[in-house]
Amino acid sequence: MGAMQTVEALPPYDVVVLGAGYAGLMAALRLGRRKFGLRIALVSASDHFLERVRLQETIVNAVAPRIPSIAALVEGTPITFIAGRVVSLDAAQRRVRLATQAGEQELAFEQAIYALGSTIEVEAVPGVATHAYRLEAGEGPRSAAALRARLYANGARRLRVVVVGGAETAVEAAGEIKTAWPAAEVSMVSRSRCGALKGTRVEGSIRTALTRWGVQLIDHETVAEVRADAVVTAAGRSIACDICVWSGGLATAPLARAAGIATDPRGRVFVDPNLRSISHPHIRAIGDAAHPIAPTGAPYRLSAFAALATGAYVADAVAAERRGRKLRPFAFSTFGQGIAIGRRGVGFFSYPDDRQRFFLVTGKTARHIRNFFVWLVCAVLRMERKMPGSFFWLGKRRVSWQTANEAMQNGPASRKAQAA
């Protein structure tokens, strides 16, 4: 690694966006309107845009990226793209240090948008980091690409595959594997119930689809250790496997906590109704990296839609603040969700509060609908590049300032921050 380069000779960036996933890329593109006159830096460890919601598809085949290059996408805008890994963040001095191919670089900023997302948690359970595959991008030894290579190399064998987790990602991974390798013995292990999400109707449809494919569902078992040839539960049960696919939870980057920013136990930044850090208001957090204290209309959870909405909101909030205005509290409504299960799926409306409503769509139709909305996410980002400010979302006015302020005053995170 070469000597550290600084940008002290230049004025600080008006906004540095840390992370170029769904949330960070949306925020940068929306701020990139020339009329704002902002100097914007967009930082990402890779120039390739990662579609997290399509990673289960890469178990079977490599997936061509819909946005092949972030640098190419932002070319011709006021956005400076920097390919580098964030090493440290100095929230007080408004500095961020990056590791790039050219060496270490330090950026100064007036405001930062923290959008470093989340990764699969591998440290909490012994053996996960060493023995379990994860739905991660890249060519690492435990990545989705490595899992695909392992499955194809052993396609003639009757492989025993255990998928740990009971939520959407685990359901989709189990469905993809069992569909492409029907001879494999695929099991799902969940600490609650496999497919237990969005109510009994959705759960029932998911479980029916999985069992039709031949996936064995193991409920109410917490995996305490992953070994080379088995997973061991907290109750002492050993489940033999040739391959373990881990979907047991997510973790966020430790950078915010290391910088002294107020975070929850998972490292997500506590934010106020305008998505500003409650300890460092010049830093805003979005997407998976944010933990709103005030209500957000629909319950806040990790999703591509919430990432897009928060990214768009903070861009509007930054622009409004520079004009001396203040936006209403962040709020949104959901409209639906789709879950792929092999070549089929389960889809449903969820307007406005992320609960299943009206009727379910199942089978191939549900899979096609889900694929359309997954495509739409990247289409929205491309449209935002062409027409910044074009993205809109439902439910913007669902939370009043009175409700938001009461939540801020009564929330445990705010009391902790005030005491400190």
Which of 148-162, 181-195, 198-212, 325-339 is predicted with the least confidence, judged by mean pLDDT? 148-162
Q: For residue 414, what pLDDT is reported?
A: 54
Q: For residue 9, what pLDDT is reported?
A: 47
**Predicted confidence (pLDDT) at residue 210 exceeds the cutoff of 90:** yes
User: What is the average per-residue pLDDT within 176-200?
Assistant: 95
Residue range 330-342, pLDDT digits in tens: 999 999 999 999 9
Residue range 46-105, pLDDT digits in tens: 999 999 999 999 999 999 999 999 999 999 999 999 999 999 999 999 999 999 999 999
Residue range 291-302, pLDDT digits in tens: 999 999 999 998
Q: For residue 208, what pLDDT is reported?
A: 97
User: What is the average per-residue pLDDT within 346-369?
Assistant: 96
Q: For residue 126, what pLDDT is reported?
A: 97
Pairing of strands 103-114, 95-100: antiparallel
Cβ-defined contacts of 274-278 (< 8 Å, 24+): 274/317, 274/326, 274/327, 274/329, 274/330, 275/310, 275/313, 275/314, 275/317, 275/330, 277/91, 277/114, 278/408, 278/413, 278/414, 278/417
CA distance 171 to 148: 17
pLDDT > 70 in the chain, percent: 95
Q: For residue 3, what pLDDT is reported?
A: 45
Which residue do the tokens 């008006």 mark?
14
**Predicted confidence (pLDDT) at residue 187 exceeds the cutoff of 90:** yes
**Predicted confidence (pLDDT) at residue 5 exceeds the cutoff of 60:** no
**Predicted confidence (pLDDT) at residue 4 exceeds the cutoff of 80:** no
pLDDT > 90 in the chain, percent: 90
Q: For residue 7, what pLDDT is reported?
A: 45
**Predicted confidence (pLDDT) at residue 169 exceeds the cutoff of 90:** yes
**Predicted confidence (pLDDT) at residue 8 exceeds the cutoff of 90:** no
How many residues are present in the chain? Answer: 420
Closest listed residue to residue 305, CA positions, set 276, 283, 270, 333? 333
3-state SS of 211-233 is: HHHCCEEECCCCEEEECCCEEEE
Angle between helices 363-386 and 22-31 (to 10 degrees): 30
Confidence of residue 416 (pLDDT cuts 50, 70, 90): low
Q: For residue 139, what pLDDT is reported?
A: 87
Domains and CATH numbers, the chain: 5-119+251-419 (3.50.50.100), 122-248 (3.50.50.60)
Q: For residue 415, what pLDDT is reported?
A: 46
Confidence of residue 130 (pLDDT cuts 50, 70, 90): very high
User: What is the average per-residue pLDDT within 156-165?
Assistant: 93
Q: For residue 378, what pLDDT is reported?
A: 97
Q: Strand runs (DSSP E) across 19-72, as ranges? A: 40-44
**Predicted confidence (pLDDT) at residue 10 exceeds the cutoff of 70:** no
pTM of the full structure: 0.94
User: What is the average per-residue pLDDT within 258-286?
Assistant: 97
- Higher per-residue pLDDT: 7 or 51: 51
Residue range 370-392, pLDDT digits in tens: 999 999 999 999 999 999 999 99
